[in-house]
Amino acid sequence: MLGQGVARSTAIAAIAAGVSILVAAAQADVQSTQTTKIPPGAKWSQAYIKEKDGTMLHADIERPAQLPASARTPVILSIGPYFNHSGQVGPAAPVEGVPFDPTAAKGPSTRFYDFVTGAHLMQRGYTYVMVDLRGFGGSTGCLDWAGPGEQADVKAAVEWAARQPWSTGRVGMYGKSYDAVTGLIGVALHPRGLRAVVAQEPVYDLYRYLYMNRVRFVNSLATPALYDGIAATPGTTGDTLAYNFSSINDTQKPGCPAQNYSAQQDPNHSSPYWRERDLIRKARGARTPLFMTQGFIEDNTKPDGAFNFFNELVGPRRAWFGMWDHVRGNERTTTGRLKMGRRGWFDEVMRWYDRYVAGKPLRKAAVNHDPPIAVESSNGKWRSEKAWPPADSRGLSIPLRSGSYVDDGQNEGTSEGGPPNGEGIWTFSRPLPRGAHFAGVPHVALDASAGAPDGNLVVDVYDIGPKGGAVLISRGAYLLDAGTNHVRYDLYGDDWILHKRHRIGVLVTSSNAEWWAHVPTGQSISIGKARITLEFLRCGRRRTIQGQKSVKLQSYLGDARFPVDPATIAAATSRKFPIPKRERRCGNR
């Protein structure tokens, strides 16, 4: 998705210059120097899908050229805001390094050209369909940030694809970022014909993309406006008048862009607007097979709620979880290095589709031979898990030191944001007598007192090296009310190996200013009784699977670390901080 993960200084400068800020989601998705291109072996056509409320959804259809028009095939469908023929993100594309061409040749979007060609979709006998969400590309209507309208779009598009004469009636969904969100909508709604979903780096609850416990992310003001801008971008000179008029036609909901922007400024998670967009709640107990990816150190579509969503499903599930940011499973650097670090993305995806969409037997689509969950830990090594957090993760309840801090909004969570770092109330463990493997979602329970409303609270967890270098493992923010607050919330999940002689550090502070758009109140915040629960593996992991260190992990370990003064560590080391138990040898793990 867009508008996240950019340094505050860059964002402010670009906004001042009148430039739309579109970040990692767009940068990572360049798959062709062209905005339109018909893949080899494909025949391209267009169609419109009429919904009950009158919305007309535009669809690009790519069919295997070697098959007769009447041949029935399984269908893979992507639906989202990025399939406009003139480019994925409109005129802001040059800022992002993605193509934008209002005079492009006639043809379908190249957003997933890499998937169609890399997975040999046409040669395998699949049809691929790209659908513009309402208000984007060639579709009419008003965008609504994965709300009731866009949820209706997903249902209509899947069911339309399932009942076409060239379809077997079996549909899969594919996407990354926003068009992975629509895949999760498919999981939640289970429209007729949907058989499987592949979702890379999605958002599980749309509120959590803009806020965490009422604290705004740095993108919360810019992102809604950015999507309004994408929606207002026409197609190419070669597109029909109807195509080019559709996305700017707001007659179904006059004032659509302003209403869309205004609705997203509500910071309350429990509001009707945000409850409608909580896919964790909607998908609970869903049975549609899902294959998803999530980076533990994602700086765009963060892991907040990822494991709640995944673990509430009851159907077949697969995942890659690891140390990357907003990238695709097949994405490579300019030197050819895989950004996630694991080979075989398209092979695994197509086994998933062959099994659940094409309906092939296991002997031809051996999904049972793939790891249920492929996990990359902080050492860059990969392993197979049946569940995450793993079944043998055990919570360690850790008392935190009391104290106070000034809500000045200055502290930075990592050195990537610059100084100051490490300001607040620290609690350190003693040096670990042996290694420990953190694998889970931290949970904080504390009492915080504020004299005025909207006080900022942030809790950070760090791996502290023998020389005092602090690397952030997890974090989470909370906006306090006036008076005494009994705070309970989860931080980001992670899978991190702490080495012998390292310490665990927990910081209670006013801000991670590179991450959230804190509004400092200047007041003193007092922390009373406080605990954090961290989960550690009971059984050691020695078996590994194929995979190399992800690109982001390498840079993160170098760029995120900041020094903590030895005097600070000595003063805040707590003998009440329990040491994780020694890992056992359990079976053949």
Q: Is 584 inside any structural domain?
A: no
510 and 557 co-located in one domain: yes
pLDDT for residue 92 is more than 80: no
Identify the domain containing residue 136 by its residue range.
Answer: 8-370
Can you tell me the distance from the alpha carbon of 510 to that of 478, in angstroms, rounded to the nearest whole number?
A: 10
| pLDDT band at 122; cut points 50, 70, 90 | very high
Q: What is the pLDDT of residues 448-480, one digit of tens each?
A: 999 999 999 999 999 999 999 999 999 999 999
pLDDT for residue 58 is more than 70: yes
Residue 377 tokens, joined: 């830990």
135 and 250 co-located in one domain: yes
pLDDT for residue 223 is more than 90: no
Residue whose entry in the numeric block shows the structure tokens 């360049």: 30
How many structural domains comprise the chain? 2
Q: Is 505 inside any structural domain?
A: yes
408 and 517 co-located in one domain: yes
Q: How does 140-159 read in b/e, with b if 16+ C-beta sit within 10 Å?
A: bbbbbbbbebbbbbbbbbbb
What local confidence, expressed as pLDDT, does residue 2 receive? 63
406 and 363 co-located in one domain: no
Q: Is 530 inside any structural domain?
A: yes
Q: Is 81 inside any structural domain?
A: yes
pLDDT for residue 15 is more than 50: no
Mean of pLDDT values over 186-196:
98
Q: Is 586 inside any structural domain?
A: no
Mean of pLDDT values over 532-544:
97
332 and 401 co-located in one domain: no
What local confidence, expressed as pLDDT, does residue 16 receive? 31
348 and 494 co-located in one domain: no
The CATH number linked to 568 is 2.60.120.260
The CATH number linked to 108 is 3.40.50.1820
89-93, 327-331, 557-561, range with the lowest pLDDT: 89-93
103-117, 240-254, 298-312, range with the lowest pLDDT: 240-254
65 and 170 co-located in one domain: yes
pLDDT for residue 415 is more than 90: yes
Q: What is the pLDDT of residues 230-258, one digit of tens each?
A: 999 999 999 999 999 887 777 777 888 88
Residue 281 tokens, joined: 């709640």
pLDDT for residue 533 is more than 90: yes
Residue 570 has a CB neighbour count (10 Å cut-off) of 9
187 and 293 co-located in one domain: yes
Q: Is 534 inside any structural domain?
A: yes
pLDDT for residue 4 is more than 50: no
| pLDDT band at 12; cut points 50, 70, 90 | very low
What's the predicted TM-score (pTM) here? Answer: 0.95
509 and 554 co-located in one domain: yes
pLDDT for residue 27 is more than 60: no
Mean pLDDT of the chain: 93
What local confidence, expressed as pLDDT, does residue 21 receive? 30
Mean of pLDDT values over 289-303:
97
Residue 30 has a CB neighbour count (10 Å cut-off) of 17
259 and 128 co-located in one domain: yes
Q: Is 577 inside any structural domain?
A: no
330 and 403 co-located in one domain: no
Mean of pLDDT values over 319-348:
98
Can you tell me the distance from the alpha carbon of 329 to that of 352, in angstroms, rounded to the nearest whole number?
A: 14
Q: Is 115 inside any structural domain?
A: yes
Q: How does 389-424 read in b/e, with b if 16+ C-beta sit within 10 Å?
A: bbebbbebebebbebebbbbbbbbbbbbbeeebbbb
407 and 323 co-located in one domain: no
235-249, 283-297, 501-515, range with the lowest pLDDT: 235-249
pLDDT for residue 13 is more than 50: no
pLDDT for residue 14 is more than 50: no
Alpha helix segments (H runs only) across 247-315:
256-263, 272-275, 279-283, 306-312
